[in-house]
Amino acid sequence: MIDLLLIEPNSGVRKTLERLLETSGYSIRGVTRGTDALRQISRQRPDLVLSEVTLPDTGGLELCLQLQLSGLPVLLMSSGVNEQLRRDTQGAGALELLSKPLSESLLLSRLAHHLNLPVPPAPRVLRPSNVLGSLMTRPGMLGAVRAALNPAPQAGSGESSTPQNPRLVGPDSEEYLVLEELGRPVPIALYRAFLKPLTQGHAAAPQRGPATLTAAPDRLSPGARSAEDRGAEAAELQCIQLEYPEHCLLLFRLPGETPTVLVCLLQNSSYASLVKYYLQSSDYVRL
């Protein structure tokens, strides 16, 4: 089995990459600092080092230069890629510089290339017609639902454009049509109240039971800010994470003219970052 050493100071990104690489057949060791990486290398030499450029104790470029002395291949990654950094990366002897957020398919294909492994098949493009099926192959996924705001009746027709006998769910007077669902049924009561805050720009979703509400890019903090601040925050709301004792729910606002929500039922919250990263790197959601 191919042994990879991952150096990533961000714990969420590190855990996500560890899960991704493990499920792709790699043996992975993850550390946060360059000094920790050197200790790991002294114990067991990896086949390749995947490192963030910015580390808390040393520069990724300096570490790369040091590892070149022992002939270790190093693949660098950064969220601040520019032409100067690319030149510096080449000067440090790195195999390549990858831009964050990493595309899952790109990362796996570049690893395969540098390790002389068969290139994995390109994944299907995530579109509404196949996103749920793709998600259900991810670790920790139990069920998924895609729901859209029920179109209003056409003027003068008195009828809606939804199919006959649609399954509708929604808070208050807002109605959402369940377009698709796979896997374990997701109880409507767990997410009904959060559809409107996610798609209609409400800054505060109601708290139900033991759930904890989190929003990206900023945490929701109703009552702690002015109405103007809360309105600006709600305009950026892309995801709600609800944590219950026995499972976790992720609700994503999907891009498009019609308000649409993707609901993911997970075994627990430890899988949330992996699902978020997968959808974000696939350009299906923007967080």
> What pLDDT digit, counting tens, does each position of 19-75 carry?
888 888 899 999 999 999 999 999 999 999 999 999 999 888 999 999 988 899 999
245 is in which domain, residue-wise? 131-281
Q: How far is it, in rounded angstroms, from Cα 166 to Cα 9? A: 47
pLDDT tens, 85-94?
A: 999 999 999 9
Q: Is residue 286 part of a domain?
A: no
Q: Write down which residue in 53, 83, 114 finishes a domain.
A: 114
pTM value is 0.56
- CA dihedral sign, ordered 211, 214, 219, 222: negative
**Contact criterion met (CB below 8 Å) for 258 and 149:** yes
Assess whether 144 and 272 both reside in one domain: yes
Number of domains in the chain: 2
Q: Is residue 190 part of a domain?
A: yes
Among 196, 199, 233, 231, residue whose Cα is nearest residue 218: 233
Q: Is residue 287 part of a domain?
A: no
Assess whether 135 and 69 both reside in one domain: no
* pLDDT in the model for residue 227: 37
Confidence of residue 167 (pLDDT cuts 50, 70, 90): low
Confidence of residue 286 (pLDDT cuts 50, 70, 90): low
CATH of the domain at 148: 3.30.450
Q: What is the DSSP letter of 280?
A: H
Assess whether 148 and 179 both reside in one domain: yes
Q: How far is it, in rounded angstroms, from Cα 283 to Cα 171? A: 29
Assess whether 142 and 217 both reside in one domain: yes
* pLDDT in the model for residue 89: 92
Diameter over CA atoms, the chain: 77
Assess whether 220 and 149 both reside in one domain: yes
